[in-house]
Amino acid sequence: MDDYFKVAPGFGFLVLYLGIAGGFHTAFAIPGSMGFYYSHGVAFAANVLWTVFTPLGVIYFIGTRITCLGRKFNYITPADLIVDYFGDGKFRAFIAIYVLSCCIPLMTANVTGPARLLASGTDGHIPYWAALAIMGIMVIIYVTSSGIRGVTWTTVVQAIWMFVAVWGAAFWCLMLIDGDLLTLFNTIKETEPALLTLPGPQGLATPQWWTTFPVFGIALYWAILPRGFMFFYSARDVATTRKIGLTVGFYLMALYLPSMVIGFTAFHFFPDLAGSDADNSFPLLLATYAPAWFAGLIVAGGLAAGMSSMDADTNANSAMLTKDVYASFINKNASDRHYITVGRIFVVALVLVTVVAAAFDWGLIVLMIGVTAAMITQLLPAVIAVTVPMGVRFTKAGITSGIVAGLIVALTALLGGRMFDFGLFQFIVPNVLPESWTRFDASFLGLAVNIPITLIVSQFTPEPNRENVARIRAALDEEFRPRKNQRE
Amino acid sequence: MTSEVEHSSVKQQNHLVPRTIWDKLYLSWFLVCFLMVWFGTWAVNKPIPIFGMPLVYVWCSGWGIVWLSGCLYFGLKIDKDDAADREN
């Protein structure tokens, strides 16, 4: 398992840099970001708050510590790190199932965007269901055959390709409007000036949204997704992760810069699209105006964005099902070879679930990503408790209570007032939070409840095993506080 | 196991507190640039073109580049100091 779900010798800087750069991007990059500019204008400039905050804050500070502990104690899954500190047993199952249930909505949402791009970009010659099937089969082939190695190497190519595709598309858009950036600006100013300022034409980017969504809804959860853990565990050493934290933001930010030109150009040509049609504005632009060969290149970039995260998520989730559920509770003493075979079966099962779920028109893509973000963000206190010694008491009961309370509040904020129609029955989720609260991002509201409850419950419940805590802290001190250790 | 038990008696270090001057500069630079994007954007929320691009977009992207460049510089200094300490 050690060299299938993660890379035992570790990847060096360049491969892991591009692996993380590509693996972090989803269908939100292509065509989502262009659709966002189309609908909400410069509000998408908020992306700087996650494309820079995540590498310089979360990867540099937390990711390096995950690499340190993962390499030292040979962790494979996110639950390995958390239960090594807080204690194993049912808590492992709780963390693993919780994380898995977070990721299925995200995987479904991620595969939907690129499949739509392929269907629209080929003018329907490849139907939506066939696009889903093509992506699913490709991911199954290379993830089952080579695990994290296949994921990372394909993601390297995908990262390069999506970057070329986005920038190429932006220059093509400028040629299409037969002008420069100022021409585009003036065109938008004449037709829909609200796109050029906050909160945007639909009023999305309020101060409450701006100050909570980019940071709590994306930056703080992005890097602690299971795929993030697998990349950090697969770094050759702490220095590699540290260098990636310092530099990968240049790639992440630069990938989104051309989206404005593409989104505004799409608005210029098709100003009346709404809802999911707005998300399809870029594929529509390609299908209408681009030569077939060029549209093909760009669509490949979009597929790269979706598949680069789908494969990484599939590998990480398969690792959790195998190590945290199957090997911990169902078959504890099997050979490594057996576990890898089981892992491959889980890969196939996960891809099938994702593709089948994406085949239905849920109309809830944004909501599904929001659910994942809100759920994963609630793990942040647990990850920080393990990786950042700070003299604050954290216990298993405290962490569990915080996660549950935070999750209830976050999901209530996300789903409150929504009606779900399942054909035979319908139900409306009660809206119990004050309306003024729900203007803030759900992940933020969840954390605002999670953290105090974690701290309060931790004061009155048994501490984790002292030897485990000391062992983990010694490893962190040795790596991150070496001089002070020597003085002591 | 002995070293683990021995270590548990050592006073726990707070990893939230920056150690060196470069750590402090990294953190300060991070916070200033973050606040410039987080709150500062609202002060430049006007439909004005800068090099043909909306002011909000240029402000956020510009601070993003400044943020990245500064933290890269300080981060490399931290690495250099750490490497020198380990050699000593």
Enter the tokens of residue A216.
């709590």
8 Å CB contact of A391 and B4: no
Percent of chain B whose predicted confidence (pLDDT) is above 90: 70
Q: Residues with Cβ < 8 Å from A213, sequence gap 6 or more?
A: A46, A441
Q: pLDDT of B57-80, one tens digit each?
A: 999 999 999 999 999 999 999 999
**Is B72–A477 a contact, with Cβ atoms under 8 angstroms apart?**
no
Query: Which residues in chain B have their CB less than 8 angstroms from residue A481's CB?
Result: 13, 15, 19
Which of A432, A380, A367, A388 has the alpha carbon at shortest distance from A406? A380
Half-sphere exposure of residue A473: CA atoms within 13 angstroms, side-chain side: 25
Res. A160: pLDDT tops 60? yes
Least reliable range by pLDDT among A251-260, A360-369, B14-23: A360-369
For residue A346, pLDDT over 70 is answered with yes
Preferred mutation among A48, A181, A237 to probe B, highest tally of B CBs within 10 A: A48
Question: Could A260 and B57 be called an inter-chain contact, meaning their C-beta atoms sit closer than 8 Å?
Answer: yes
> Closest to B8 (Cβ–Cβ): which among A52, A180, A466?
A466
DSSP A5-18: TS-SS-B-HHHHHH
Residues 41-60 of B with CB under 8 A from A: 41-42, 45-47, 49, 51-54, 56-57, 59-60
What is the mean pLDDT of the segment spanning A316-325? 91
**For the residues A71-93, what does the mean pLDDT come to?**
92
DSSP character at residue A217: I
The tally of domains found in chain B comes to 1
Which of B4, B30, B51 has its CB closest to that of A181?
Answer: B51
**Cβ contact A56–B68 (<8 Å):** yes
CA distance linking residue A142 with residue A313, whole number of Å = 13
pTM: 0.90
H or E element at residue A467: helix A466-480
Stretch A397-420: mean pLDDT = 90
Average pLDDT over residues A177-202: 92
Chain centre distance of CA A257:
19
Q: How far is B28 from chain A (nearest CA, A)?
A: 12
- Tokens 């639909």 correspond to A202
Separation of alpha carbons A408 and A400, rounded Å:
12
pLDDT at A424 > cutoff 90: no
Whole-number pLDDT of residue A214? 92
pLDDT of residue A364: 61
What is the model's pLDDT at position B11? 63
Domain A13-363: which topology? Sodium/glucose cotransporter (1.20.1730)
The answer to whether residue B59 is domain-embedded is yes
Token pair listed for A114: 């690129």
Only one residue has tokens 């047993």, namely: A89
Q: Tell which residue, B36, B18, B17, has the closest CA to residue B75.
A: B18
| Angstroms from B54 CA to nearest CA on chain A | 6
Instruction: Considering only residues A444 and A154, tell me which one the structure prediction assigns the higher pLDDT.
Output: A444
Taking CA atoms, B45 is separated from A197, A200, B42, B57, B58, in Å, by 6, 11, 5, 10, 11
Partner-chain contact A45 B16, CB within 8 Å: no
Option in B15, B63, B79 nearest A48 (CB): B63
- Give how far B20 is from chain A: nearest CA, Å: 11
| A181–B53 CB contact, under 8 Å | yes
Q: Which of B2, B4, B17, B46 best tests the A interface by mutation, with the highest count of A CBs <10 A?
A: B4
Determine which of B3, B6, B13 to mutate to test the interface with A (most A C-beta atoms within 10 Å).
B13
pLDDT of A326 over the 60 cut: yes
Residue A388 CB: number of other CB atoms within 10 A?
Answer: 16
In 3D space, the residue among A314, A310, A242, A316 whose CA is nearest the CA of residue A78 turns out to be A316
- Containing B63, the helix (H) or strand (E) segment is helix B55-87
Q: What integer best gives the mean pLDDT of chain A?
A: 88
If one compares A90 and A484, the residue with the highest pLDDT of the two is: A90
B80 within domain boundaries: yes
3-state secondary structure of B49: strand
Q: Print the domain residue range for B59.
A: 29-88
Q: Indicate which of A196, A441, A472 best probes the interface with B, i.e. most B CBs within 10 Å of its own CB.
A: A196
Contacts of B49 in chain A (CB under 8 A): 181-182, 185-186
- As a three-state string, the secondary structure of A116-179 is HHHHHHCCCCCCHHHHHHHHHHHHHHHHHHHHHHHHHHHHHHHHHHHHHHHHHHHHHHHHHCCC
Residue of chain B whose Cα is closest to the Cα of A477:
B13
Is the minimum CB–CB distance between B87 and chain A shorter than 8 Å? no
* B62–chain A Cβ distance below 8 A for any pair: no
pLDDT category of residue A450 using cuts at 50, 70 and 90: very high
B5 inside domain: no
Q: How confident is the model at residue B3 (pLDDT cuts 50, 70, 90)?
A: very low
